[in-house]
Every structure is written in structure tokens, then in C-alpha cells.
Amino acid sequence: MAQEKKTGFGRKFRLICGIYLLALAAAIAPANAANPVDLSNPAFVAAGGATSIPVGHAEFCKVHPGECALTAYPVDTHALTEQNWQELLEVNARINSAIQPVTDEALYRVAEFWTYPRTAGDCEDFALAKRRELISRGWPESTLLITVVKEASGSGHAVLLVRTDRGDLVLDNQDGLVKLWNQTRYQFIKRQSQTHAGQWVDLIDPRPLSVIASL
């Protein structure tokens, strides 16, 4: 019985994700030479100017300088296909289930410590692991951006923002679904620069807090 329930949930989850992909496909036409991606579409979160790098990421960059350098061949977005949509779902689900969520205070006795997790980690560690995994699978690093958001409670949180030609998608350790940024209950604050992984830019989130809270 337990196996039947699990299998039924898996089918339902795949159906929901498949419907969501169709909705994304209908919302924004695929990019091509004659029809470049319109980054002013609300499916993409607008970026402002340069801003401060999170303390935890600055310390991470001292240990991993090669992962915080100028991006050699930056691209704005990566084409979203059925295959790599499934890849996003698989990576998000697998890392979410493999890593136990534990705060930096509990693990390291410090407020912020960004690192690649082994069996446990904080939200930014989940995002780092997903970013590394997708880069290893051929995703352009300029489309995989660690992003700082604010929860409805006011607490800070980190997610991985994936820039596709169908919009900015969010890989989150608190949600098994992969959603467009503006369909999450987060206020978007800042993210990594697409041209330099060790620099950050402000994000412009025009949604009223009342709208975010109602999602």
C-alpha cells in the first residue's frame, strides 16, 4: 500500500510539473535569431546596479576563487526543453532529499558559513550544490545564480535562480516544485552577477507584499 501511494504521488507530481511546463511554453515564445528573449517580460526579475556581496559568499570566494571569477562566455538565458526541465526537477528533488536542512549556527556555531554540503547544510549550501551539479551537466554558469530573498516572516533565505528563455525559475530547498520567480512567496533582494560570479546586483521586485503573501 505504501508503495502504491508513493507511486501515485510520483505520477501526480510529474503531471503537475508537465502541466506547468506547458504553461511556461504558452506564456513565452521560444527564442531564436528573429525572436530574441524579451527580458522585460514579467517572467524575468529585473536587475539593478551593483550591490554588496553577502558575507558568507565573500568568505566562500576566498576558499573557491575559481568559482567567483569573471564569466568567460556569459549568456542571458538557457533554452528550456522538456529534457532539461526534467533535469531541473531531478536535481532539485535529489539534492533536497539528500541533504538535511540545518542552520549554520547549529552546524558551525557561526551566523553564516557557505560551503558545499555533504549530508547537512543551510539554504545557501543547497543552492551551491545545485549550481555545481547543473554546471557539471553543461548548463551555462551565467544562468545559474545564487539569489537572496526575504520570506514573508522577514527572514532571509537563499535559492538558486535559473535563467531560461521561458523565464527565471527558482530551485528551492523548501519547495519540491520548480516555479517562476514571481509565483513564489519571496521578495527578491539580490543575486550574483551574470558576468562575474563573485559580484552581486540588486533585484527589482515590483510586487506588493500583499500579493506575495497571497501566493
- pLDDT tens by residue, 120-173: 999 999 999 999 999 999 999 999 999 999 998 899 999 999 999 999 999 999
Q: Using 50, 70 and 90 to split pLDDT, how confident is the model at 211?
A: confident
Q: Is the pLDDT of residue 9 over 80?
A: no
Q: Using 50, 70 and 90 to split pLDDT, how confident is the model at 19?
A: low
pTM recorded for the entire structure: 0.87
Does 46-214 carry CATH code 3.10.620.30?
A: yes
DSSP 55: H
Q: Using 50, 70 and 90 to split pLDDT, how confident is the model at 6?
A: very low
Q: 169: closest CA among 65, 84, 99, 112?
A: 84
Cα separation, 33 vs 35, in Å, equals 6
Contacts from 138-145 at CB under 8 Å and sequence distance 24+?
Answer: 139/78, 139/84, 140/73, 140/74, 140/75, 140/78, 141/71, 141/197, 142/71, 142/73, 142/74, 142/75, 142/76, 142/194, 142/195, 143/75, 143/76, 143/77, 143/78, 143/194, 145/191, 145/192, 145/194
